[in-house]
Structure 1
Amino acid sequence: MSDVGDHGVGLFSPSLALVRRGMLDLINRLHNTGVQTDIDLPQIAVIGQQSAGKSSLIESISGITLPRAAGTCTRCPTECRLAHSVAPWKCLVELRFITDKNGQTLGQPRTESFGDPIVDKSEVEDRIRRAQLAILNPSKPRRTFLEDGEDESTEVSFSTNYISLQISGPEIADLSFVDLPGLIASVSSRGGNERDIAMVESLVSSYICKPSCVILLTIACETDFENQGAHNLAKKHDPEGKRTIGVLTKPDRIPRGDEESWLPLIRNEQETLKNNWYCVKQPSSQDLKQGMTWEEARAREHEFFSLTPPWSELDPMYQKYLRTSNLVDRLSSILSELISKRLPQIQIELENTIQKTRSALHQLPKPPSSDPVGEVAGLLHVFIGELDRALEGVPHNEGLLQVIRPAQERFRREIRRTAPDFRPFQQSKSTMSESFADPTFLSTEDVYDTFAGKEPEVASPPIFINRVMDRALMSRTRELPGYYPFAVQKSFIREFTAQWAAPAQVLCRVVHSALSQHVKALIAQQFSQFGQGGLERNVTILVQDCMNQRAEAAQALIAKFVALENDGPLTLNEHYLSDYQAKFLAYYRGARERQQNPVLAQAIAAFKPSDHPKIDRHGIAIQPTGIAQVLSTLASIGLNGIHAEDLVKLLPPDQMDPALNIMADVRAYFQVAYKRIADNVPAAIDHELVRGVGRELLPMLYSGLGINGPDGLRICRELAQESPNIAGKREELVKKLERLETASRELMRVGL
């Protein structure tokens, strides 16, 4: 098409306000940043059925000529980015790829220049045709389509990848719009199939579903309105018709006598749209080939609507909806108003999206370092530091020591429950059912009565005095009468020490399990975001090996402690043992005496010595009675210093006294040994397993990973190699952030 007479073509107008032009220019610059993939930017999308006159409408707006051929002309989106410039007219053609050659969506759209900038408008049509062929043949080199004699065949019918035209010049507006492939009416349509129908509809929907998209709905008057599905699609995404502008094309092809059926649309009486319906008449392909200028085309359009009924007979109020110039003016106004309304929202959306993108980047693992050995070593030392802190103990209810403490408490209770339950009574039905309270002197040193609000279970069955005596008699060899071998005490001691191995090993396994879970979580925290997980897997294996070795060492030490107890009784804490022997002997003997001589026992218990004799009301001393009388009588015959508790010694000797001594010996030794094992086993586990892991893990990690060996650099480089998914995500977020920040700077330039 000739350049002559093209003044005023398109949305550019000398009367356009500077503020409006500034906003249009800003939106165009925002489109140039690519931020429309992240933010909904105002845009015009031209949709319609195949051959509905869309391309002609685009040509009227942009002032360029698009490829025309029989059947489907537009097989991929053609995006026009218009920029006003004082420099000579220029058009840059680019290919924008959002999918690869296999149709898989790219993480980041790719842009390729397609040839040198065009300075002659007559070359645009051929360049666009070649660019479309390059899009539709994704497996072929792009440069082949810039050369003469290219193959017209295509690998795909339609594509979501698109052509981008960046047009600038003195007569160009600052605007972006896109010409979308025409909707295919049915499979029977030329070139149509089910896949193509769905693809084109999905592609068109992806544009017009955005709230800031102005929909230019083209309807060809040569076809029945009801048969053009583009209107239904527009109504689906803009049900209230607030952002749709209807455009009737090809009014000169309406069958004679049917013109009146289209007038209700122009009067907005049918299929009402907020911005109304328009009717335009564009030059035919033959007119363009013969060199018709845009000035001549507009003149013929004006003549058609001025002289051709019923268009010429419309009321003046509806005449403004006829002709391309009126459509362009209204379109410019609508788009400007939309831009003005959206700009403040765009600023907010940009800032929110920037913050979310930065947060997403921050949540990703750090990119691989140029010093992989140092990075891996640093991670290991940080991990060991955190592990040491956990092993030493942290003031937190979920700390490792806090987690294993209940298991230690259960172990102590299990050992305490093995205490021999001696009863200083003859076994009988009544004594079997009677309870026997623990001595009060244990309450101040053994906290074993409750745990988690529950009474402890008694593990040891009662051992009555007759059983003890029977065993003592059966154990005598060459001892003198009244003497019994120490083997009796040893046999009872061996019975409770033999029960200590099982709970000790259970404690070790429980601590090992808790430690494994704690360390596993710490490993995930420190290494899960590093590389492709190789370091985390290797560290996990090595740490598990280390913990297993330390657990075996702890179990071996526990076995030694238990074996020492099983070897026989031994203690150098003679005072402690003697004190307990005296206390338990008195406790057992007193209980037996209360059963054997209850009257005397109650009298002794009730007796309260007095330093002064009781006096009656006449001042005469009252003679003592009961225990006081006995003590007074004994004192009168010279036995002074006798106490009430000593009276039991006047009773005949108890034949069970040897058994009472054995019971006191065994029970006293249990107190010594139980406290020893209750401390030694947890201490062994802590030393060999818990703290042992902390002592030996770092050198084991260095050795096992091989980072200090001759292949250390290669190993660390492989471990630090980033996952393709993470790398792709980071690249996508970095590019997105660049787009967003560039767009934000563009807004800052205009003070938004």
Structure 2
Amino acid sequence: MSVYDTNSESDTGFADFVKGGGVGLANPAVSKSRRRLLDLINRLHSTGAQVDIDLPQIAVTGSQSAGKSSLIESISGITLPRATGTCTRCPTECRLASSTETWKSIISLRFIKDANGQLLGTARNEQFGEVIHDKAEVEERIRRAQRAILNPNRRSTDFLEGEDEDLPENLLSFSTNCVSVQITGPGVADLSFCDLPGLIASVGSTGNEGDIKLVKTLVESYISKPSCLILLTVACETDFENQGAHHLAKMHDPEGKRTIGVLTKPDRIPPGDEAGWLNFIRNEREPLENNWYCVKQPSSSDIKNGITWAEARTKENEFFAMTTPWAEVDPMYQRYLRTSNLVERLSNILSDLISKRLPDIQVELEHAMEGALDQLAKLPKEPSKNPLHEISALLAAFSMDVSKHVEGKPDEEGILQSIRPAQEMFKRDIRGTVPQFRPFERSVAGDQVLFAAPSFLSNEEDDKAGYDGGGEAFHDCICVDEVHTRTLHARTRELPGHYPFVVQTSYILTFTEKWHTPAKILCRSVYGVLTELINRLITEHFGSFGQQLLEQRVRVCVQEHLKKQLEQTEARIEWLVKLEALPYTLNTHYLSDYTEKFLAYYKGARSKQEHGALTSALESSHSTVSEILSGLNTVGISGVQGEDLAKLLPADRMEASLRIMADVRAYFQVAYKRFADNVPLAIDYDLVRGVDRGLLATLSERLGIYGSNGKDICEELTQESPQVAGRREELMKKLERLQSASEELMGTS
């Protein structure tokens, strides 16, 4: 059984009683199976697993001078260190075991945390001094062991010998590390307990106010656990309402299911107040599931007079058997009086709790280990012992990933899929610069701005917006008479009917000059999409590595690399735009074909405008055509077909201008398709694919990992962030504790 005492009182200890040969309440009826359960729980506590899982235990709580130290000493047969006020400043665990061998005690230091207050893996148990065979030496050894616990920065052996004044001042006020006292011998009870720092109500003028909260937190870390049985010690000499330990216990066990009450010092009840305390024994006041008990320990004068353990137990029996009102308590409540009854009840309750909890403890251990492993798996990969190799591997993996993306991935969020909308917009913008020629004079073209789009383009363009016959504003259209005027102004020494090529060139420049902006917009759009992708890949590959220093440096290097590729790409686009300022093509067949088609298109539209009546008559009246052909035959003109009649119309004075319009419009068809392909190709080659070319070599060179200082640079880059390193260490220590506890359980299965 584990008894955890949360207070050290100021009354005198049982030194003389212990020296006189008194021992604990040995219970020979305790079964071997119960002893094995108790030993198992003690071993689990030795691993430190109580930090992670809920282990069965008993915590004794009480206000100062509540008599619980006397109770513990009566049970254990040893004397605890005493002083005025609170003297217990770290847990002191005692493990008692009955044995036929000579009485002995081994005192050890158990460190659950290191000198910096960080949890260790498996708790470290360190024997403090030689084996003790004289009970009178235990108190002093425990006191020195507590001093060693409070000074974790010094060797524990420094506190084994020497006078008190030679020992250093305590570094800590309190500690969660504990002193473990193992006692075996004839007649020793099979149980354990732990004396914890007592709850502090005030610290006085020389105390530290922070200690009040520290002690309260330490006590609550025990009694707040569901498998902790709370042994609440209350002194009958003080008003019940004034004893703060009860309020703390009730806060964590409001229904009283795991609290066992103990009334001490019943001989100091003021006359006339006995009935009020009997209501606790009858479980009528502050009822508890496991009831209230009452014990009577020897007085200070009895101990000084050398009372023996047997005499103390006899006097306790006489007190409850002969003192009113305890002697008059109904027989059914007599079992809640005397120390022996309390110890037996505690032993039964704890044994039952251990038996019920063991299967759950195994499951909880497995779940806790799985949880710790899952959390470890979510942490960034632990730094390698070879930082250069690790960084090289990371850079290579990043470079390969970039290469896969720029080559194209069958994913709607791929780089090629992401830039396609911008490419389509660029193509529409270039097509939108088509010259809007109108084969009509400006004076009559107002009613002819909208006319049928060329049918021969229907299979080529999927978007007719802005094209011939489209809805361009009237002032943006170029009328045939305006073309004619420009040709006349451009003539120098040409023969009549001939015009310089500068006219076509000037019109070609009106649309090629507009191509620079859409091309630059496309380049910047692709750069933005590419930058977003690269930054995401940098975060994926390096974001959780080290202290993000590698990520930051890679990001800077890649940004510089991207900007260099952007500058190169924009220079290429400038070059392509300049090329288009000089009209040229070897695709003469394509150009000639479109020139003839556009010339016929413009002539047809103009003919309908100027000779609409004749054309309509010829198209609508077959008899009219026959009459004209018959008349021509009469005057000796034969062989003329109906479709030849239009040729008899007078020559159009705008013939040359229409030809220039057809030349320019046909060249646009050739040039825009060429430019709409070349710019995206250049961007793809110089920017998208360009970011991959030499990326790995660039990163390696700029990071300097293969230089003379490469080793130092790699070590700096691989340093893990303190947060991640701390979390990894914490989880590894937790796994170590849980695995140790699991091995203890498996070893007893």
TM-score by length of 1: 0.88
Return closer, same or farther for 1:117/1:459 CA change in 2, 3 Å cut-off.
farther
For 1:462-477, list aligned pairs within 5 A.
462-477=477-492
Structure-1 separation of matches of 2:608 and 2:528: 50
The 3-state SS of whatever aligns with 1:489 is: helix
- 1:416 maps to 2:431: yes
- 1:577 maps to 2:591: yes
Structure-2 separation of matches of 1:117 and 1:576: 107
Return closer, same or farther for 1:349/1:426 CA change in 2, 3 Å cut-off.
farther
The 3-state SS of whatever aligns with 1:389 is: helix
Q: 2:278 aligns with which of 263, 284, 290?
A: 263
Structure-2 separation of matches of 1:167 and 1:25: 12
8 Å CA contact 2:122–2:740 kept in 1: the answer is no
The 3-state SS of whatever aligns with 2:694 is: helix
Farther off after superposition, 523-532 or 219-228: 523-532
Q: In structure 1, give the amino acid aligned to 2:73.
A: E
Structure-1 separation of matches of 2:136 and 2:629: 140
- 1:26 maps to 2:40: yes
The 3-state SS of whatever aligns with 2:446 is: helix
Farther off after superposition, 533-542 or 75-84: 75-84
The 3-state SS of whatever aligns with 1:236 is: helix
Let me know the Cα RMSD of the aligned residues: 3.2
8 Å CA contact 1:421–1:460 kept in 2: the answer is no
Tell me the equivalent position of 2:14: none
- 1:383 maps to 2:372: no
8 Å CA contact 1:634–1:640 kept in 2: the answer is no
Farther off after superposition, 52-61 or 431-440: 431-440
Return closer, same or farther for 1:97/1:741 CA change in 2, 3 Å cut-off.
closer
The 3-state SS of whatever aligns with 1:692 is: coil
Map Cα deviations across residues 312-349 of structure 1 (whole Å, 9 max, x no partner): 11001111111111111221222223223323332332
For 1:186-335, list aligned pairs within 5 A.
186=202, 194-284=209-299, 287-288=302-303, 292-335=307-350
For 1:667-706, list aligned pairs within 5 A.
667-706=665-704
8 Å CA contact 2:53–2:361 kept in 1: the answer is yes
Structure-1 separation of matches of 2:631 and 2:279: 137
For 1:51-450, list aligned pairs within 5 A.
51-80=65-94, 89-96=104-111, 98=113, 100=115, 111=124, 113=126, 115-116=128-129, 118-120=131-133, 121-136=135-150, 142-151=156-165, 155=170, 158-167=173-182, 169=184, 177-186=193-202, 194-284=209-299, 287-288=302-303, 292-427=307-442, 431=446, 434-436=449-451, 438-449=453-464
Map Cα deviations across residues 127-155 of structure 1 (whole Å, 9 max, x no partner): 22223334445666544332221248855
Q: CA deviation at 1:435?
A: 3.3
Tell me the equivalent position of 2:606: 592
- 1:516 maps to 2:528: no
The 3-state SS of whatever aligns with 1:625 is: helix
Q: CA deviation at 1:2?
A: 4.5
8 Å CA contact 1:77–1:180 kept in 2: the answer is yes
8 Å CA contact 2:44–2:50 kept in 1: the answer is yes
The 3-state SS of whatever aligns with 1:55 is: helix
8 Å CA contact 1:114–1:131 kept in 2: the answer is no
Structure-1 separation of matches of 2:395 and 2:697: 10
Structure-1 separation of matches of 2:474 and 2:336: 100
Return closer, same or farther for 1:310/1:647 CA change in 2, 3 Å cut-off.
farther
Q: CA deviation at 1:22?
A: 3.4
- 1:44 maps to 2:58: yes
8 Å CA contact 2:145–2:179 kept in 1: the answer is no
Q: In structure 1, give the amino acid aligned to 2:195.
A: D
8 Å CA contact 2:419–2:529 kept in 1: the answer is yes
Tell me the equivalent position of 1:621: none
Identity %: 55
The 3-state SS of whatever aligns with 2:692 is: helix
Tell me the equivalent position of 1:617: none
Q: CA deviation at 1:164?
A: 3.3
Tell me the equivalent position of 1:654: 652
Map Cα deviations across residues 350-405 of structure 1 (whole Å, 9 max, x no partner): 22221121112122233232322222222221111111111111111111122222
Q: CA deviation at 1:549?
A: 1.2
Return closer, same or farther for 1:632/1:25 CA change in 2, 3 Å cut-off.
farther
Q: In structure 2, give the amino acid aligned to 1:119.
A: I
Aligned residue pairs total 724
8 Å CA contact 2:253–2:259 kept in 1: the answer is yes
Q: CA deviation at 1:113?
A: 2.9
- 1:538 maps to 2:536: no
Structure-2 separation of matches of 1:278 and 1:320: 8
Farther off after superposition, 656-665 or 117-126: 117-126
Farther off after superposition, 263-272 or 646-655: 646-655
Structure-2 separation of matches of 1:83 and 1:700: 71
Tell me the equivalent position of 2:23: 6
Return closer, same or farther for 1:221/1:425 CA change in 2, 3 Å cut-off.
same
Structure-1 separation of matches of 2:522 and 2:701: 30
Farther off after superposition, 381-390 or 141-150: 141-150
Structure-2 separation of matches of 1:458 and 1:593: 23
Structure-2 separation of matches of 1:634 and 1:85: 146
8 Å CA contact 2:450–2:471 kept in 1: the answer is no
Tell me the equivalent position of 1:611: none
Structure-2 separation of matches of 1:643 and 1:429: 29
8 Å CA contact 1:77–1:178 kept in 2: the answer is yes
Q: CA deviation at 1:233?
A: 1.1
Structure-2 separation of matches of 1:95 and 1:719: 38
- 1:493 maps to 2:491: no
Return closer, same or farther for 1:429/1:592 CA change in 2, 3 Å cut-off.
closer
The 3-state SS of whatever aligns with 2:584 is: coil
Q: CA deviation at 1:643?
A: 5.4
Map Cα deviations across residues 258-287 of structure 1 (whole Å, 9 max, x no partner): 222211011110011111111112234565
Map Cα deviations across residues 546-567 of structure 1 (whole Å, 9 max, x no partner): 111111111111111111111x
Gaps of 5+ in 2: 1-17
Structure-1 separation of matches of 2:68 and 2:700: 69
TM-score by length of 2: 0.88
Return closer, same or farther for 1:625/1:122 CA change in 2, 3 Å cut-off.
farther
- 1:551 maps to 2:551: no
Q: CA deviation at 1:657?
A: 2.2
Q: CA deviation at 1:235?
A: 0.8
8 Å CA contact 1:248–1:279 kept in 2: the answer is yes
The 3-state SS of whatever aligns with 1:69 is: coil
8 Å CA contact 1:76–1:132 kept in 2: the answer is yes
The 3-state SS of whatever aligns with 2:388 is: helix
Structure-2 separation of matches of 1:642 and 1:82: 131
Q: CA deviation at 1:110?
A: 6.8
Return closer, same or farther for 1:639/1:350 CA change in 2, 3 Å cut-off.
farther
8 Å CA contact 2:48–2:122 kept in 1: the answer is no
8 Å CA contact 1:242–1:275 kept in 2: the answer is yes
Farther off after superposition, 423-432 or 680-689: 423-432
Q: CA deviation at 1:227?
A: 0.7
